[in-house]
Structure formats: structure tokens, C-alpha cells
Chain A
Amino acid sequence: MSAIGFRLLAVAVVLSAVLLLTGRVSSGTAGDAARLAEAVSAAGGPWRCVEAGDSDVEYADPAVDEAFAQVCRHPDGTSVTVYVGYARAQTDRKRIRSPRANYPDNTDPRWSYTAGRRVEDASALHADQVMLRHAGGRRIAVVYWYQVGGRSFGDEYRYRLAVFGRHVRRGLTDAAIVRLASPVDADAADETFARQMDLARRLYPAVAHALRES
């Protein structure tokens, strides 16, 4: 075979090898919506969580395979809508969206958000806090994190890196998004975030356990 033929063959072999290596995707099995909902309901403490009604559910991620929403209420009146979505397998066209880019109404350009504030504490929960603002005056305090296997990520890039690592090593791309949202007045943002984090810390062990790697 000529040198050109060898070089073309090398190109074909390399492309085929990359095709085989990157085409390997397995589905995760950790996220069972019923099991997750049970875990959230049993979060304990002063919070009382019930299944969210249609009017409470304004957030959804189109990439997830299983999801549920619950409304948790604190005795002081704080209400938090908890959304948990689990994607068994993600691809370039079906992947969990950042809650910063996925607003209650994506078609409304008047939504904006503050810079995220990272929350990393002793409970091993790594989350992000963000305030969604609508030009009409509405504000929503959001605490969210991504769950990959037994680990949480508030940082988008660390989350992507974790999924990348699992994809390379095991062909797994499953992950969950946990989002806690509360309507908030301008002067009560810190209190609301503190309440949300209290609930998040209570939920986290149960959610992490339910989403652990099987």
C-alpha cells in the first residue's frame, strides 16, 4: 500500500476508535422518583412536605426522566418548593439545564439573576444560591445543586467535570438536579436563604442516599 493509503487508513482507524470510545453510554438506575419523594417527605425536623399542586409547580427540566415536586412549609410560614429531577442518561442534546438558565418562563426575557453564591458546609452539601429577578418585581430565591452518584455540586463546572469523569470511566452520564425555590421580598432575602439551607441540609443525606450509586 502506498504512503497515502497508509495515512488514510490511519485516519480511518483513529476516527473509528474515537467513535467506539465515545459511543459507550449506559443508563443510570439510581433515581427512582417514588423513592426520592419518600426520602424528601421524611426529611424530618419542623418542615412539613406535601406533594406540590399544579399551581405550585412552575419549574421543570426537559432533560430529566423522572421528577417530582413537593412544597415544604416551615412553622414560621416559609414555603419552599422542592424539585428533584433525575436523568438516567445525558447526551449533547438532552442534558440537565442550569437553574440559572432555566427560568419559570424561559420565553420571558425580563428574568435575570444575581451571581451565584457558593455554599459548602460540614454536611458535605455543595450548593449554589441565586436570586432570580423579574423586571415586573417578582423575586425568587433559589438554592440548587447537582447530584452525581453520592456527591453534590453547586459549581456547574465541577459538576460537568464529575459527569465527564464518570462518562469516561464507566460510560455513565446519569445525574440529578435538586432545586429549592421560594418567593421572597427584597428585605427578607437572607432569612429566606437561611431557611432554604436549613431544609437543604435536612434533605441532602436522604437525597444523596436515594441517588447513591448502585
Chain B
Amino acid sequence: MKTLALPKGSRAEDRPGLWPGVALAGAVVAAFALYAPVIPGLVEDWWSHAEYSHGFAVPVVAAYLAWRRRHEAAAAPMDGSWAGLLLFLAGVGLYAVGAWAFEPFVMRVSLPIVLAGAVWFVGGSGFMKPLAFPLAYLVFMIPLPYPIFKTLALGLRYLDAEIAAAVLTRLQVPVLQDGYFLHLPRITLEVADGCSGLFSIVSLLAVGALYAHLTLNGFWRRLVILLAIIPVAVGVNILRIVIIAWVSHVSGDWIFMVTFKTFTGIFNFLLSGLVIVALGQWLSGLGRKRRPA
């Protein structure tokens, strides 16, 4: 059987990895140059907004997740993908729109899309598959635009105040709800942005997605966990507001600061996290029970 072979001593045979290496370096440098104006603002948001401080951990976690799957990726054929090219072009298009409209959120969102598109286009579907979640996980490092965050927080403040007032009434605590203010006989509580529960939801979504990916099998179980985070976090936050209001009502103003400091966002985060883990355990057990012997 005849085979085609490059002539001995040719450049390609001598240094087979040179040109791909140069092209890779060019792509990495271009990507760094493109996103250089985006990163400082992103890091500033992580630093200055506590609800997004997990942003520092997200790229590290994504890199770790990719590292765990490196052997699967390396074993896959690097056959490229036209669909990946489309995703890559959509990502750079999004970046261009964000840059021309100086809309940082759009530029930031384009980052994981461009990365995923480039990886998929260059490596192909087999190479992309084990890296898909680590790349998608980068979405959690991007803060919501301020107007959207404020609008969501305001909606949650009203909802929390309304439900907390209803619960307090059932507990025989005289309370007058006025928007997001709860007027108790001895104290008025304001459900402020920080008490809306949105901070916990944002952080829990990032942690919950990681938990679901690492511990649960199956798309639907993971989706249930992600969807459960929002109602669980809202419920726990309302519980926190009710506890603060009830204890302040029963024990007097002096206890308010004690309860307020005790039942901070950490309380929300930890209790919601425990509920989510319990739900995850239940979902795992459900799968095992249904499996045939």
C-alpha cells in the first residue's frame, strides 16, 4: 500500500508543533488585548460588591474543573467544529456590540462565549464536551447590570415584606406593612437591598451549580437544584426577617441589634445551602431507589 509522506528534512516534519504554537500564542495575545479593558472593571465589581466577591473564585474553580477533565479532552480527536465557529463569531459579535455601545455587561458576557466558541471551533465536539461545564461556569463571575439588580432587589423587598408581615400577623405580632417597611409597636424595620435575599441567591447559584455538577448525575436533577435555589433562598430570607421582627417585638429594642447581627446574610447562605444539600441528597436517593436490582 502506498502512503503519502512529506519529504525528509522538510520544515513541517522537523518542527511539527511550531506553527500551531505560534497561532495559539497569537490567539491568546489577541484575546488578552481584547479583554484587557474588561477585566479591571470586573475585578473592581468583585472587590467592591460583597454579593459578587465569589467572582474571584469562579475562574479558579472553572480552571480546576477543566483540569479534572484534561485526560478526556486530550483523548478526543481535534477535528474542529463549524458550530463552534458560529458560537465564536456570535461571541465576538456580542463583544463588538458591547464595545461600540460601551456596555460592560455585554462585553463581559461575551467572554465565556468567545472562549467556548474558540475551544469548540479549534478542538471539535469531542474536545469541547468535557470542557463545556467549566467554560459555562464562568458565567457566574459576571455581575448583573446594576439596573436589573436594583429592580430584582426592589421586587424581592416588597415580596419579603409582604409575606413576613402576613407571617408575623399569624404569630400575633401587631405589624403594619408600608411598602418595604414593617412598623412594629416599638421598632420599624426596613427590608433594604441587603435584606432582600438577592445577595444570597446570586452566591448560592454559583455554589449550587458547582454542587449539582460535582455530586448529582443527570441533567434534570441538576436543573431541579438550580431552580430550587431561588425559592429556598427567598424562604430562608423571610424566615430571617420574621425572626428578627419577632425577637425584637418580644424582647425589646435592645435585642434588635443582637438578632440583626446574628441573622446576617451568612445565616441565609448557610441555611439555604443546607436545604439545597438536603434536597440534593434526596434527589440522589430517588435515583438509586428507582434503579433496578
Q: A residues within 8 Å of B by Cβ?
A: 1-12, 14-16, 18-19, 21-22, 90-93, 95, 101, 109, 160, 163-164, 167-168, 173
Contact = CB atoms under 8 A, between A and B. Distances in A.
Interface stretch (B33-41, B130-138, B242-250): B33-41
Nearest to A173: B102
Contacts of B89: 14
A164 B23 contact: no
Residue in A7, A90, A91 whose Cβ sees the most chain B Cβ within 10 Å: A7
B103 A92 contact: yes
B191 to A, nearest CB: 11
12 contacts: A5-B22, A8-B20, A15-B30, A18-B95, A18-B96, A22-B95, A92-B98, A92-B99, A92-B102, A101-B147, A109-B193, A167-B100
Contacts of B29: 12
A11 B118 contact: yes
A171 to B, nearest CB: 10
B92 A2 contact: no
A2 B20 contact: yes
Interface in B81-127: 85, 88-89, 92, 95-104, 107, 114, 118, 121-122
Contacts of A91: 37, 102
A16 B32 CA distance: 10
B146 interface: yes
Contacts of B22: 5
Interface string B34-61: 1001100100000000000000000000
Nearest to B24: A8
A5 B30 contact: no
Q: Interface majority SS on B: helix, strand, loop or mixed?
A: helix
B98 A21 contact: no
B26 interface: yes
A5 B12 CA distance: 12
Contact of A164 (B38, B95, B100): B100
A11 B107 CA distance: 18
B193 A92 contact: no
The size bracket of the interface on B is 35 or more
Contacts of A101: 146-147
Nearest to B30: A15
Q: Which 8 residue pairs of A and B lie closest in terms of their CB atoms, listed nearest first?
A: A8-B23, A15-B30, A12-B26, A22-B99, A5-B20, A12-B27, A9-B23, A92-B104
Contacts of A9: 23, 26-27
Contacts of B97: 164
Nearest to B181: A135
Contact of A168 (B27, B85, B100): B100
Contacts of B104: 92-93
Contact of A19 (B16, B34, B41, B98): B34
B80 interface: yes
A4 B20 contact: yes
Contacts of B24: 8
Given A101-B146, A163-B102, 20 more contacts: A1-B23, A7-B122, A8-B20, A8-B23, A12-B30, A14-B92, A15-B30, A15-B33, A15-B34, A18-B95, A19-B33, A19-B34, A92-B38, A92-B99, A93-B37, A109-B193, A160-B103, A164-B100, A167-B101, A173-B102
Nearest to B106: A92
Contact of A90 (B20, B31, B85, B102): B102
A5 B19 contact: yes
B263 to A, nearest CB: 21
Contacts of B37: 91-93
A101 B19 CA distance: 51
Nearest to B117: A11
A16 B33 CA distance: 8
Contacts of B102: 90-92, 95, 163, 167, 173
B78 interface: yes
A204 B102 CA distance: 27
Nearest to B193: A109
B30 A1 contact: no
